[in-house]
Structure 1
Amino acid sequence: MPAVHNASVKCAAVAAASLLVLAGCGSSDDNQPKNPSVIILSGDGMGPQQRTAIQYYLYGLDERQPMDALPYSGFLDTIPGDPEYAVTDSAAGATAWAIGQKVPNGTTGLGPDGESVPTLLDLAQKRGMATGLVNDHDVTNATLAAFGSPVPDRDLKVDIARGYLDRGVDVLFGGGEKYWYPEGDPGRIPDAGEDDASEGDEDLVARAQSDGYQYAYDQPTFDALTGPKALALVQDSAKRRSTEIEGYDYSSDPNYVAPERLVSKALEILGTNENGFFLVIESDDLDSDGHEHDAQNMMLAGESVNNMVKVITEYQKDHPEVLLIVTADHETGGMTIENVLDDGEPEPNSDQVADDPVPYWAEIPENMPLPGGGVPKRSGPFPIKGTDREFKVDWTTPEHTGTMVPVTAAGPLAERFTGVHPNTYVYDVVTELWGDQ
């Protein structure tokens, strides 16, 4: 009898424990933060090979780069919702994240038939969250516009800037000053390049200030920003600018603000909202570097991405309610990583002519195929940090490719990104986190 009694007690205990486990599984949402924030960080054009090359060059073989050190990883497809194409553009790629639907190329934040639909930024505002858009290049580009200023044509840059203000996006940091000032008004950043002249049709900076935005255009004014609404139009693509303007040095440019500082300030301002925030960040320079077959500048852009990730993961230590998603809209350039032979002569390059054949201030173009398969300077060789090994890169196209892209994540529901998913899955996870599904 005692043995039977003990067995009964044990069975009851197991049953009770099972009920507790089941109850816990059924109430997992109770463990989710009340006001979870979301950060999407896109390395435009950053496919698996770009991430690998950046890892080798900047971090070597023993230290995992910050964007790949996040605890969960997977892949996203990049195919657009266009029956004629297998390769997406940035507009369609970002729109898939923003609205959770596959759309035709060129579609920027609108539905498959060009209809207006709520974006993740709209849903965030409806929840009372703060919102922000940050770019190391033009803040009015297609990726950010897909969230904050849907338009029928991604090239309507002035309309995109105006749309940000119409929607009341709280934080707007990046380049592209020329779209915010009317033609003939030089703005606050000196026009040194041939592409610097203003081409707007009204003074949108003045309008932003009248709407309550603080405005910054150089390092001192940027450091003084406190929010809750802030517009910073700083030097556009500063790390790449030396390839366009001979003698330019971004480190001594007072209008240059490092991308990681843009992100840090954005978190400082947005983080004061008790309802949380939604922030989309992009390194658009990675895409330009792929189009131009410029692996040297790609490494600089990769450095910026990793520095931004470091800022965010440090922020997450005190704010575990923040979900960070690091991915890309597509790959650009069909980049490959190749050997350098023992005799010091690289394998022949077969790369295509770059989309933008910038001469890079050299008698022999530094990013173009050389006679006999010679390796252009911008393609390497590059050392693998901490080793005696070297590699070079080659390119198969000056355009986008249809490869899947890596996604890494940390924070609440980050585990959902394990495995292979459509790019619309970003929207699905974020809306699940917010309880909007």
Structure 2
Amino acid sequence: MPATHPALPLLALVAAGALALSSCGDSASESVALPQHPSVIILSGDGMGSQQRTAIQYHTYGLDERQPMDALPVAGMLDTIPGDPEYAVSDSAAGATAWAVGKKVPNGTTGLGPDGESVPTLLDLAKQRGMSTGLVNDHDVTNATLAAFGAPVPDRDLKVEIAEGYLDRGVDVLFGGGEKYWYPKGDAGRIPDEGDDDASEGSANLVQRAEELGYGYAYDRDTFDALTGPKALALVQDSAKRRSNEIEGYDYHSDPHYVAPEKLVAKALDILGRNENGFFLVIESDDLDSDGHEHDAQNMMLAGESMNAMVQVITEYQKEHPDVLLIVTADHETGGMAIENVLDDDEPEPNSDQVADDPVPYWAETPENMPLPDGGVPKRSGPFTIKGTDRQFKVDWTTAEHTGTMVPVTAAGPLAERFTGVHHNTHVYDVITELFGN
């Protein structure tokens, strides 16, 4: 499908896809021969609901060019409710675990079954097939979403244990931030400690252990470019596009330890794609979730650019590798975000946003992400221009936490049509295991 075509609303795409699928009939889709050695990529925009995807579309691409993550040929919706006796809203651990093991689980459960039991994850099933495996993040590579696949633990905050689990499981490619969990306390690692949250918290030198296990190691752009695999560990600058919130004057462009997320993905595909049995890769933009918690729509737009850049890398790769299934979705929505008209004299529409999870001042006397008197629009909430027009919109927020709304899913590749319509989030597991022949 071409990258540019009229920007139809996502739900219209869903409905169109449903009609197309129903006209073919189930027997037609079932008769399609599956590839013998498929590969799978799950790309999660943590906290990215329909409103976030729409805002990124309007501001970055306008009304005529469809953004890459919504230009995929199949669209649907996934629910996000956890298998929790108390809560109707999911955390990242439960959301990702539903994908990883195919079961609804309580919040906080990271890669384990509903009763905390050990069950095979999709990454385990991929390894059993002889596939290469990879985990990539623009933030901490040991976060709950990736851990649900590569290092199941009883508590998502067991970051050091998660890093150890990745090495124990032999995950082939590990790219992202979170260097502090891989080095023991007192060892600054290879990236300078500048922020309040940079000091090492580990109990052993896991980087050294990884190198002893045959991993190539990278910590900046030069060492990253030199990685060749087949096993590779890159611990680069964590959430670089957001560090100006913590470090005045910081510019990620000039930081030698920053590696753009799309470059992380391109390198992962290069290394993992050499396996004739295929690969299984989970990628996450965790910054989108942080931006929702912090009510920072400006940085959300930057994270959206990264999401679309990663999709572009993958779809280019698919042109030469059609046996790759790409799934783009989210574990939940964060912030209760809404797109609204800008305040004016004729139609006043004040902001009613709640106090953000993290009241970061953003280096201003008046915090730029917090509610202003009389419903004024915080700087981080807009206004934003719809590209190619004179129209503007602003962003409002209803909560500093997650919400229970359904989230979009778009897909391309073998069995992508299975995502047309509305499904439980466990459907991700069902489709992938079908592709695997399990």
TM-score interval for Structure 1 and Structure 2 normalised by the shorter chain: over 0.9
From the superposition, tell whether residues 408 and 27 of structure 1 become closer, same or farther in structure 2 (CA, over 3 Å). Answer: closer
SS at match of 1:164: helix
Give distance in 2, aligned partners of 1:285 and 1:207: 28
Conservation of the 8 A alpha-carbon contact between 1:67 and 1:306: yes
SS at match of 1:132: strand
Larger C-alpha radius of gyration, 1 or 2?
1
Give distance in 1, aligned partners of 2:163 and 2:77: 32
Aligned to 1:15: none
Q: Deviations over 1:111-131 (max 9, x none)?
A: 000000000000000000000
Q: Does 1:239 align with 2:241?
A: yes
Percent of aligned pairs sharing the same letter? 85
| 1:32-181 pair list within 5 angstroms | 32-181=34-183
Residue of 201, 210, 213 corresponding to 2:203: 201
Give the letter aligned to residue 356 of structure 1. D
Report deviation, 1:344. 9.3
Report deviation, 1:107. 0.1
CA RMSD across the alignment: 1.5
Conservation of the 8 A alpha-carbon contact between 2:46 and 2:333: yes
SS at match of 1:54: helix
Report deviation, 1:347. 2.1
Aligned to 1:434: 436
Report deviation, 1:27. 7.5
Q: Deviations over 1:30-68 (max 9, x none)?
A: x22110000000000000000000000000000000000
From the superposition, tell whether residues 288 and 27 of structure 1 become closer, same or farther in structure 2 (CA, over 3 Å). Answer: closer
- After superposing on structure 2, the runs of 4+ consecutive aligned residues of structure 1 that deviate more than 3 Å are 24-27, 341-346
Give the letter aligned to residue 45 of structure 2. G
Report deviation, 1:83. 1.9
Give distance in 2, aligned partners of 1:345 and 1:129: 57
Conservation of the 8 A alpha-carbon contact between 1:346 and 1:375: no
Query: What stretches of structure 2 of length at least 5 have no aligned partner?
Result: 1-23
Aligned to 1:17: none
Give distance in 2, aligned partners of 1:201 and 1:341: 52
Q: Does 1:28 align with 2:31?
A: yes
Aligned to 1:291: 293
Aligned residues: 414
Give the alignment's TM-score, normalised by structure 1.
0.93
Give distance in 1, aligned partners of 2:348 and 2:120: 51
Conservation of the 8 A alpha-carbon contact between 1:346 and 1:392: no
Give distance in 2, aligned partners of 1:92 and 1:76: 14
Query: What stretches of structure 1 of length at least 5 have no aligned partner?
Result: 1-20
Give distance in 2, aligned partners of 1:366 and 1:344: 25
Aligned to 1:3: none
Give distance in 1, aligned partners of 2:399 and 2:117: 33
Conservation of the 8 A alpha-carbon contact between 1:97 and 1:427: yes
Give distance in 1, aligned partners of 2:388 and 2:88: 39
Report deviation, 1:340. 1.4
Q: Deviations over 1:166-220 (max 9, x none)?
A: 0000000000000000000000000000100001000000000000000000001
Give the alignment's TM-score, normalised by structure 2.
0.93
Aligned to 2:231: 229
Report deviation, 1:152. 0.2
Report deviation, 1:236. 0.1
Aligned to 2:350: 348
SS at match of 1:136: strand
Residue of 308, 311, 327 corresponding to 1:309: 311
Give distance in 2, aligned partners of 1:211 and 1:205: 10
Conservation of the 8 A alpha-carbon contact between 2:292 and 2:335: yes
Give the letter aligned to residue 147 of structure 2. A
